[in-house]
Amino acid sequence: MSAADQAEAPSAGPLHRLQVAVDAPQHSGLSDPLSYRAAQAWPPGTLLQVPLGKRELLGLVWDAPGQDLAPGGQVLPDEELREVGEVLDALPPLSASWRRLLEFAAQYYQRAIGELALSVLPPQLREVSAKQLQAKLKKLAKLPPPPVPEAPPVMPQLSEAQQAALAQLDGMLQASPEAAAPTPVLLYGVTGSGKTEVYLRAAEQALAQGRQVLVLVPEINLTPQLEARFAERFAGRRIVSLHSGLTPAQRLQNWLAAHLGQAELILGTRLAVFASLPRLGLIAVDEEHDPSYKQQDGARYSARDLAVYRARLEKVPVILGSATPSLESWHHANTGRYQRLVMPQRIGGGAMPRVRLFDMNTLARTKGVTTALTAPLLEALRQRLARGEQSLIFLNRRGYAPVLHCGECNWKSDCPHCSAWRVFHKGDRSLRCHHCGFAERVPMACPTCGNLDIAPLGRGTERLEEQLAQALPGARVARIDADSTRHKGQLEEQLGAVHAGEVDILVGTQMITKGHDFRRITLVAAVNPDGALFSSDFRAPERLFALLMQAAGRAGRDAEVAARSEMWVQTWHPQHALYQALQRHDYEFFAASQLAERESAALPPFSHLALMRAEARTAEGAQAFLEAAAALAQALPDAQQALIYPPVPMSVARVANVERFQMLIECGQRSALQRLLWHWLPLLQALKREHRGLLRWAIDVDPLAI
Ligand SMILES: Nc1ncnc2c1ncn2[C@@H]1O[C@H](COP(=O)(O)OP(=O)(O)OP(=O)(O)O)[C@@H](O)[C@H]1O
Ligand SMILES: [Zn+2]
């Protein structure tokens, strides 16, 4: 508890007015904390039940001035306020700095505080009674500390670049509490340069000072390996993970361990940025460029950006690590807002894999036949097989084939509910829509003309796996994608098999290209990456480049095999500047050229965007709402500084029979954009009531996908 909280500690008395943040439904228009009466002055950060309408729900005592539950907006006299229900008083209140983080995030991403706060707390907190929670806390307190190891962990000799980076970080970790917040660090290190070791050593420093360490990773599937590395290094310390793959009970238990300060190291995905950490001393964000740090529904927050904000708020160092930093972070390093620490070489001096751009135009074309497995690629795979080395083939499309087609009548397996094809999955013989989930058994014959000869068009990972097994008999082929890892434990098992050398060729989606420290892979192939080159999304090249660099980084991680490791890109556009930069492993050139383009087009990071989306039963309904919203904005003081583009259909316009439109708002100044949204969005509640056909609208501040 901070000093400020203690000053407001409960005192007995007849009646106290409390402000409580609750997750009120959006249509109620209640976005600020509400006033209640209580017999005690529970301090801000206390969790308790409160009545709202006919329901009782979990709320959080807040320190902001509240609205009073009165029609017409008049302030209710104390006696008319409703009384709070059960108080979860065994739980120490959430700290003032946690509440400031929540306030900032709610304001910045334009959500109500109560909605955001309740969505980032473990869901089980809403269900437990005060008594049950007390029991859980007692059980936690009795947990024995992890056993102290007999021998100290084996620690590698640091490389020069690692030492230099750590010297800087040590300085920040030792800084006095009165000093200004440390500058955020961008740890720019090529794949395999030992960034993780830097997080480990910096964490060790912070832990030695009795502080807690928060490590963010982009995806759940990266947590097991990293958790193992941290557990090995920090045996004897309590490490917990926080991500959406945990059971509700585990998630609550881990969250409580962090909140009580028992857990020293917290490893998690984006939601962990909101963990309550009373002794936070360091934040590390691994693969900081990764799009999964951005939440894609509800409060669309960026965990990376919030990590930077939180570090400044709590005056602790934050490390953003990547081999291909986001252009935003790179730009901040160029302008001095972030401090760049560079690790230009792989550990052990291993070379980066040689990148071969294979020109698909050189192949003789056979009508109707598209090859993903070209003869030269098969030859390269055979060489690896003969040497007992592993290969990885990357194709960002799961399923057997993206569409099923009838050659007679031209029928295609479209989704009746979406403007998209249904994907053919051979494993369970289904046609499945990846947008709305609608699935049916594959028809025996064409549903429109009865032709029996319907054929898959194109290729997904499932088909690639099958073709590889046919082309290379005897090779042990494994596939990792969202379909093959649906059940708990499957992913760990499959990754374990790769690490144990039980797999010769690994096929998969981008899941396998990130972060994994595979030791025996000497060939990585991207068989069909061109699609992203011509996307309408201005961030598509940045994402493709990062993905391919990451994928390349899985090859030759062992210095012994690095010299003969290769990255193979099959493309119809080998001269494209993106591939040329990839071939030279030249992130810096790529970043500079992209930033120059962004600057001349006034795109982020040289401008600030928000995306307003509307969903309706009809396209006209969605469009009309956005047009009316734009008209309302024109009357606002900050509208002159903003450019509001005309609404356009989203790239997949119809999903589950709902039509979706979006409208881009661009502003030179972040603050002007914030002010505009602040004045504008409240008007849209009333506007929505006038537009009966509208189902929902939402705002995405700093949108990633456009
Ligand atoms: N100083 C060192 N001496 C010897 N081995 C090291 C050292 N630092 C790291 N390693 C080992 O080198 C390998 C690569 O390191 P690490 O996984 O930290 O790289 P990385 O930069 O995080 O890579 P990526 O960006 O590809 O995830 C690991 O197996 C790690 O244990
Ligand atoms: Zn669908």
Domain encompassing residue 468: 350-399+460-597
With respect to residue 148, please indicate whether it lies within any of the assigned structural domains: no
* pLDDT for the residue 515: 72
pLDDT tens column, 138-154 = 999 888 888 888 888 88
Helix and strand element counts for the chain (H, E): 19, 27
**Same domain as 331, residue 479:** no
Side chain identity at residue 637, one-letter code: P
Measure 432 CA to ligand 2 centroid, in angstroms.
8
Q: How far is CA 355 from CA 239, 337, 505, 548, 583, in A?
A: 39, 33, 19, 10, 5
With respect to residue 192, please indicate whether it lies within any of the assigned structural domains: yes
Pick the atom of ligand 1 nearest to 198's CA.
18
What contacts 234, CB < 8 A, 6 or more positions away? 153, 203, 204, 207, 264, 265
Q: Whose atoms come closest to the Cα of 440: which ligand?
A: 2
**Same domain as 88, residue 221:** no
* pLDDT for the residue 6: 44
**Same domain as 307, residue 171:** yes
Pick the atom of ligand 1 nearest to 193's CA.
21
Name the CA dihedral angle for 84, 89, 94, 100, rounded to a multiple of 10 degrees. 20
The pLDDT of residue 291 is above 80: yes
* pLDDT for the residue 74: 54
* pLDDT for the residue 13: 47
Measure 161 CA to ligand 1 centroid, in angstroms.
12
**In whole angstroms, what is the distance from residue 106 CA to residue 566 CA?**
46
**Same domain as 172, residue 39:** no
With respect to residue 63, please indicate whether it lies within any of the assigned structural domains: yes
Pick the atom of ligand 1 nearest to 159's CA.
1
Q: How confident is the model at residue 491 (pLDDT cuts 50, 70, 90)?
A: confident
With respect to residue 33, please indicate whether it lies within any of the assigned structural domains: yes
Among protein residues, the one whose CA lies closest to atom 9 of ligand 1: 194
**In whole angstroms, what is the distance from residue 583 CA to residue 549 CA?**
10
Measure 8 CA to ligand 2 centroid, in angstroms.
53
* pLDDT for the residue 10: 44
Q: Per the structure block, which two tokens stand in for 5? A: 């909280």
**In whole angstroms, what is the distance from residue 250 CA to residue 122 CA?**
10
Q: Whose atoms come closest to the Cα of 230: which ligand?
A: 1
Give 36-51 as a 3 state SS string.
Answer: EEEEECCCCCCEEEEE
Q: Token match 């917040």: residue?
A: 181
With respect to residue 454, please indicate whether it lies within any of the assigned structural domains: yes
**Hey, which of 195, 197, 232, 548 would you mutate to test ligand 1's pocket, going by the most ligand atoms within 8 Å of its Cβ?**
197
Phi-psi sector, 405: left (phi>0), alpha (psi -120 to 50), beta: beta
The pLDDT of residue 496 is above 60: yes
With respect to residue 150, please indicate whether it lies within any of the assigned structural domains: no
Among protein residues, the one whose CA lies closest to atom 25 of ligand 1: 191
Q: Whose atoms come closest to the Cα of 319: which ligand?
A: 1
Measure 423 CA to ligand 2 centroid, in angstroms.
10
With respect to residue 691, please indicate whether it lies within any of the assigned structural domains: yes
Kindly give the residue spans of alpha helices, DSSP state H, lying in 239-286: 248-259
**Same domain as 467, residue 439:** no
pLDDT tens column, 10-45 = 444 468 889 999 987 665 666 778 889 999 999 999
The reply to whether 667 sits in an annotated binding site is no
CA pseudo-torsion sign 251, 253, 259, 262: negative
**Same domain as 200, residue 107:** no
Q: How confident is the model at residue 485 (pLDDT cuts 50, 70, 90)?
A: confident
Among protein residues, the one whose CA lies closest to atom 16 of ligand 1: 194
Q: What percentage of residues in the chain have a pLDDT greater than 90?
A: 67
pLDDT tens column, 191-200 = 889 999 999 9
Q: Which of 327, 348, 369 is the last residue of a domain?
A: 348
Among protein residues, the one whose CA lies closest to atom 3 of ligand 1: 156
With respect to residue 654, please indicate whether it lies within any of the assigned structural domains: yes
Q: How confident is the model at residue 366 (pLDDT cuts 50, 70, 90)?
A: low
96 DSSP 8-state letter: H
Mean predicted confidence (pLDDT) in 476-499: 88
* pLDDT for the residue 2: 45
Pick the atom of ligand 1 nearest to 343's CA.
21
Number of independent structural domains in the chain: 5
Among protein residues, the one whose CA lies closest to atom 14 of ligand 1: 192
Mean predicted confidence (pLDDT) in 675-703: 92
CATH number of the domain where residue 615 is located? 3.30.70.360
Q: How confident is the model at residue 510 (pLDDT cuts 50, 70, 90)?
A: confident
Mean predicted confidence (pLDDT) in 376-388: 94
Sheet containing 390-394, strands listed edge to edge, beginning at the edge strand earlier in sequence: 354-359, 566-571, 521-526, 390-394, 505-508, 477-480
* pLDDT for the residue 4: 44
Q: Whose atoms come closest to the Cα of 653: which ligand?
A: 2
The pLDDT of residue 163 is above 90: yes
Measure 513 CA to ligand 1 centroid, in angstroms.
16
Q: How far is CA 604 from the centre of its chain?
A: 19
**Hey, which of 158, 190, 196, 217 would you mutate to test ligand 1's pocket, going by the most ligand atoms within 8 Å of its Cβ?**
196
* pLDDT for the residue 12: 43
Regarding beta strands 12-22 and 55-62, do their DSSP bridges make them parallel or antiparallel, or are they unpaired?
Answer: antiparallel
The reply to whether 433 sits in an annotated binding site is yes
Q: Whose atoms come closest to the Cα of 414: which ligand?
A: 2
Q: How far is CA 496 from CA 66, 269, 394, 490, 517, in A?
A: 53, 21, 19, 10, 12
**Hey, which of 347, 499, 519, 554 would you mutate to test ligand 1's pocket, going by the most ligand atoms within 8 Å of its Cβ?**
347
Measure 569 CA to ligand 1 centroid, in angstroms.
25
Measure 513 CA to ligand 2 centroid, in angstroms.
28
Q: Whose atoms come closest to the Cα of 196: which ligand?
A: 1
Cis amide bond preceding 649, omega within 30:
no
Q: How confident is the model at residue 565 (pLDDT cuts 50, 70, 90)?
A: very high
For residue 266, the surrounding DSSP H or E stretch is strand 265-268
* pLDDT for the residue 3: 45
pLDDT tens column, 71-121 = 444 567 777 789 999 999 999 999 999 999 999 999 999 998 999 999 999
pTM of the predicted protein model = 0.91
**Same domain as 226, residue 96:** no
Measure 193 CA to ligand 1 centroid, in angstroms.
6
Among protein residues, the one whose CA lies closest to atom 24 of ligand 1: 191
Measure 347 CA to ligand 1 centroid, in angstroms.
6
* pLDDT for the residue 1: 41
* pLDDT for the residue 517: 82
What residues have their beta carbon closer than 5 A to ion ligand 2?
415, 417-418, 433, 435-436, 438
Give 481-542 as a 3 state SS string.
Answer: CCCCCCCCCHHHHHHHHHHCCCCCEEEECHHHCCCCCCCCEEEEEECCCHHHHHCCCCCHHH
Among protein residues, the one whose CA lies closest to atom 10 of ligand 1: 194
The pLDDT of residue 575 is above 70: yes
CB neighbour class for 238 (10 Å; exposed up to 12, middle 13-18, buried from 19): middle
What contacts 237, CB < 8 A, 6 or more positions away? 146, 207, 264, 265
Task: List the beta strands (DSSP E) in 277-421.
Answer: 280-285, 318-322, 339-343, 354-359, 390-394, 403-406
Half-sphere exposure of 460 (CA within 13 A, CB side): 22
Q: Which of 110, 142, 174 is the last residue of a domain?
A: 142
What is the CB neighbour count within 10 angstroms for residue 339?
17
Helix-strand-coil split of the chain, %, nearest 5 = 35, 25, 40
**Hey, which of 320, 517, 524, 558 would you mutate to test ligand 1's pocket, going by the most ligand atoms within 8 Å of its Cβ?**
517
Q: Whose atoms come closest to the Cα of 513: which ligand?
A: 1
**In whole angstroms, what is the distance from residue 522 CA to residue 535 CA?**
30
The pLDDT of residue 356 is above 90: yes
**Same domain as 450, residue 425:** yes
CATH number of the domain where residue 243 is located? 3.40.50.300
Measure 655 CA to ligand 2 centroid, in angstroms.
6
Among protein residues, the one whose CA lies closest to atom 1 of ligand 1: 158
Measure 284 CA to ligand 1 centroid, in angstroms.
16
The reply to whether 406 sits in an annotated binding site is yes
Contact yes or no for 628/687 (Cβ under 8 A): yes
366-370 contacts, C-beta under 8 A, 24 or more apart: 370/458, 370/459
**Same domain as 130, residue 249:** no
Measure 291 CA to ligand 2 centroid, in angstroms.
24
Mean predicted confidence (pLDDT) in 296-317: 95
**Same domain as 310, residue 164:** yes
Side chain identity at residue 656, one-letter code: A
**In whole angstroms, what is the distance from residue 541 CA to residue 535 CA?**
8
The pLDDT of residue 370 is above 70: no
* pLDDT for the residue 227: 85
The pair phi, psi for residue 449, each rounded to 5°, is -120, -5
Q: What percentage of residues in the chain have a pLDDT greater than 70?
A: 94
**Same domain as 525, residue 432:** no
**In whole angstroms, what is the distance from residue 385 CA to residue 476 CA?**
9
Please choose, from the candidates 24, 26, 73, the residue with its C-alpha nearest in 3D space to the C-alpha of residue 688. Answer: 26
Which of the pair, 136 or 9, is modelled with greater confidence? Answer: 136
Q: How far is CA 320 from CA 226, 310, 461, 518, 658, in A?
A: 16, 13, 32, 22, 38
Give 413-455 as a 3 state SS string.
Answer: CECCCCCCECEEECCCCEEECCCCCCEEECCCCCCCCCCCCEE
Q: Give the least confident one: 54-68, 245-259, 652-666.
A: 54-68
Pocket around ligand 1: residues whose beta carbon is below 6 Å from it?
A: 156-159, 162, 189, 191-197, 323, 347, 515, 517, 553
What residues form DSSP beta bridges with 133?
Answer: none
Q: Which of 287, 319, 348 is the last residue of a domain?
A: 348
Q: Token match 């592993």: residue?
A: 390
**Same domain as 619, residue 474:** no
